[in-house]
Structure 1
Amino acid sequence: MTRPLLAALLFDDGAAPDPMIAAVLECHPGLRVAGLLQSPVREGDCDCRDLTVRNLQTGEVHAITQNLGTQSRGCRLDGGALAELAGGLLQALDEGPDLLILNRFGKSEAEGGGLRQVLEAALLRGIPTLAPVNPRHIGLWRDYAGDLAEEVPCQPQALENWISRALEPGEIFL
């Protein structure tokens, strides 16, 4: 039997898939999961959304955006913070987790940055990997993954089914 190794969790624009992912993972005690879950927060006088991620192994919370000021129109993702997180996740892959959860696949990853090196390292090691993908970036995802990945709807049972199949013994579907 072949098992899936890579999946995009397709969520609606404006919806946050992270609480649902966390709830599904709670149903799997003993599952060794590496990765990040994202949560929006508002701080200070900034009128735009600040993002943090929680490391699923350590529980540590890290900011992944930078405050560029209220007049800024540029991307607020903090490339340095993402690089630091990527280094920690690459080390976590050495411990052989059962599953990797990336906080998102977006423009940074499509362009070769962000957490793309972590995604590729996990795939090379045969670690099933789930990446939430916003509808704005589905084209970028499909260009990147081609037919090597499954697309999973953002529903608890669909995610549960994918995890169960990804963890079954058997040949890897890649």
Structure 2
Amino acid sequence: MQSNTSHPMTAIVYSDGPRFETVLREVTAAMADQGMRLAGLVQHSRPNPDRRKCDMLLQDLAMGELHLISDDRGAHASGCVLNTDRLLRACETAQAGLSDRTDLLVLCKFGKAEAEGGGFRTLIAKALELSVPVLIGVPLINLSPFREFSAGFAREIDVTEFGIDWRPVAADLAPQI
């Protein structure tokens, strides 16, 4: 699999996390139905009764497994509930499903963990090493750190353009499909 060499990464920029989450799940399901070999992680946020924060789960696109990556920190918790150890384990599992036969690595978010130097960065590096193109969601708030990380090797698409028809994006990323 050869990626678009000028832009091996595509960032889907968004400001509405729940809306983007839904769009990405729908698009990855359609891609898989079209025969694309996907690896990576998409998020499923599940409301938690009597809690301000939702449960965060990552679905491994190659294996279908769900990984809980959040901690229940109580009813009044308002800060980050991400469990970085669980995130790391989910990344390791996703990396096991990544190979040079993968058409596309899909990642739900370049979030705080990635902006701080962790999270999905190792998984992205492995994909690029294998010449597997990367599709990643980038919240508007993290666009500047993403641009610094990607160093000009990513193109940016607004979620509204991506959600209308994902096929041109996928064809550009993985032209053999």
TM-score range, shorter chain: 0.7 to 0.9
Unpaired runs of at least 5, structure 1: 170-174
What's the offset of the Cα at 1:9?
Answer: 0.5
Aligned amino acid, residue 128 of structure 2? L
Trace 1:25-36 onto structure 2 (pairs within 5 A).
25-28=28-31, 29-36=34-41
Give the counterpart of 2:27 among 16, 20, 24: 24
TM-score (norm 1): 0.85
What's the offset of the Cα at 1:123?
Answer: 1.0
Matched, 1:161 2:164: no
Aligned equivalents of 2:75 and 2:24: distance in 1?
A: 32
- Number of aligned residue pairs: 169
Aligned amino acid, residue 168 of structure 2? N
Aligned equivalents of 1:3 and 1:159: distance in 2?
A: 19
Matched, 1:64 2:69: yes
SS in 2 for 1:68: coil
Unpaired runs of at least 5, structure 2: none
Alignment correspondent of 1:117: 122
Percent identical across equivalent pairs? 27
TM-score (norm 2): 0.84
Trace 1:1-174 onto structure 2 (pairs within 5 A).
4-28=7-31, 29-94=34-99, 96-155=101-160, 156-157=163-164, 159-168=166-175
| Paired residues of 2:53 and 2:81 also in contact (CA < 8 A) | no
Alignment correspondent of 1:172: none
What's the offset of the Cα at 1:48?
Answer: 1.6
What's the offset of the Cα at 1:75?
Answer: 2.0
RMSD: 2.1
